[in-house]
């Protein structure tokens, strides 16, 4: 008796929708690109994956130089708080997608209909003094819609505000530095993704985070649509801003989205110990929103909106969630900042 051997590939019997589901579960773009070499069918189906994760190993600009290392936060912050510039050590700036080699936009052109995209950068953008932790989450459309920032220093000291050096005044200045640093980092990430947003019209959800879990930029379907529709006058405005200065600070103007005039609600505790034993010095929670973004609302409505944003920002982390809840029980302060 003769038996016919079946040499057919098992994957050939699977329908395309099931293959698409598998690719979406894989998500990682490097793995998917390797899958394209498996067969002609895989090569044709991989570009149709719609849920992707792009891990960026290194962001390289064609014009990067060693002199750029100190031109990002220092140049800006030194102009407003000269006495505190030694507390901040900025990381290398995020480059313009148009000038970078293997930029996210170039890599993602291999895919036809992306709906959900997560981009993971190699590290956070802020390098503050040892023992300082900052976590932030920013929501964007054509520009900043909201940002929640949590900052603190770890330690067992009992100095409270004195831990910052210079008493209560220095503590407040340091909290302002944290806020500005996070806003600059968020607006730089948003700027880097504008090209991706414009090229992928079906994109419905975008998250830009980093492996250090320092910060996260999110854009939902409404925010993505707003970003695309605003590009005409937005690019012209950015060009006008970049060309109207005197040459100082032009680098960061050209490489990030302008932060609008904002209203900041701040909660602060000099010392705080969480249920797990973690001790925070100078724990600070800030909710940032554009001054013209909410229309005419009462103070109670504004505060309730800020509390809602704060509670939803770090829900995936029990420690930071507890810190937020504790800080919300303290007195809040209102600050305003002009566009920059």
What does the pLDDT average to over 186-198?
Answer: 93
Q: Tokens at residue 34, please?
A: 């390797």
Question: Can you give the pLDDT at residue 245?
Answer: 41
Q: Count CA atoms within 13 Å of residue 31 on its CB side.
A: 11
What does 207-239 look like in DSSP terms, one character per residue? Answer: EEEETT--EEEEE-HHHHHHHHHTHHHHHHHHH
**Percent of the chain at pLDDT above 70?**
71
What does the pLDDT average to over 165-174?
Answer: 64
Nearest to 149 by CA among 120, 178, 187: 178
Least confident range from 41-50, 64-73, 152-161, 206-215: namely 64-73
Question: Can you give the pLDDT at residue 130?
Answer: 81
Is the pLDDT assigned to residue 34 strictly greater than 50? yes
Cβ atoms 193, 208 nearer than 8 A: yes
Question: Can you give the pLDDT at residue 156?
Answer: 62
Cβ atoms 261, 338 nearer than 8 A: yes
Question: Can you give the pLDDT at residue 169?
Answer: 56
Unique residue bearing structure tokens 């420690």: 319
125 pLDDT band, cuts 50/70/90, is: confident
pTM: 0.77
104 pLDDT band, cuts 50/70/90, is: confident
What does the pLDDT average to over 309-332?
Answer: 91
Q: What 3-state DSSP class applies to 273?
A: strand
What does the pLDDT average to over 186-209?
Answer: 94
Question: Can you give the pLDDT at residue 328?
Answer: 95
């Amino acid at each position: 008796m003769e038996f016919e051997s079946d040499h057919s590939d098992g994957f050939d019997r699977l329908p395309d929708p099931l293959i698409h589901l598998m690719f979406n579960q894989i998500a990682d773009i490097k793995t998917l690109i390797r899958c394209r070499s498996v067969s002609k069918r895989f090569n044709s189906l991989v570009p149709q994956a719609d849920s992707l994760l792009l891990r960026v190993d290194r962001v390289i600009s064609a014009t990067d130089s060693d002199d750029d290392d100190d031109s990002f936060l220092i140049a800006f912050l030194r102009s407003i708080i000269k006495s505190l510039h030694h507390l901040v050590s900025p990381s290398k700036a995020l480059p313009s997608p148009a000038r970078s080699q293997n930029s996210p936009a170039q890599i993602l052109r291999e895919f036809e209909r992306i709906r959900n995209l997560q981009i993971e950068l190699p590290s956070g953008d802020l390098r503050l003094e040892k023992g300082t932790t900052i976590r932030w989450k920013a929501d964007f459309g054509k520009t900043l819609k909201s940002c929640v920032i949590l900052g603190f220093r770890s330690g067992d000291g009992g100095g409270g505000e004195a831990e910052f050096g210079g008493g209560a005044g220095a503590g407040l200045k340091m909290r302002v530095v944290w806020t500005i640093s996070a806003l600059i980092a968020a607006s730089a990430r948003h700027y880097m993704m504008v090209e991706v947003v414009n090229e992928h019209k079906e994109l419905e959800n975008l998250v830009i985070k980093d492996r250090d879990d320092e910060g996260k930029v999110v854009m939902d379907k409404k925010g993505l649509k707003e970003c695309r529709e605003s590009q005409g006058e937005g690019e012209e405005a950015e060009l006008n801003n970049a060309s109207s200065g005197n040459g100082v600070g032009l680098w960061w103007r050209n490489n990030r989205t302008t932060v609008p005039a904002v209203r900041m609600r701040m909660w602060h505790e000099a010392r705080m110990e969480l249920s797990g034993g973690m001790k925070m010095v100078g724990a600070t929670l800030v909710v940032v929103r554009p001054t013209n973004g909410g229309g005419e609302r009462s103070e109670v409505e504004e505060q309730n909106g800020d509390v809602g944003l704060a509670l939803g920002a770090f829900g995936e982390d029990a420690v930071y969630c507890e810190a937020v809840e504790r800080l919300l029980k303290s007195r809040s302060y209102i600050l305003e900042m002009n566009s920059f």
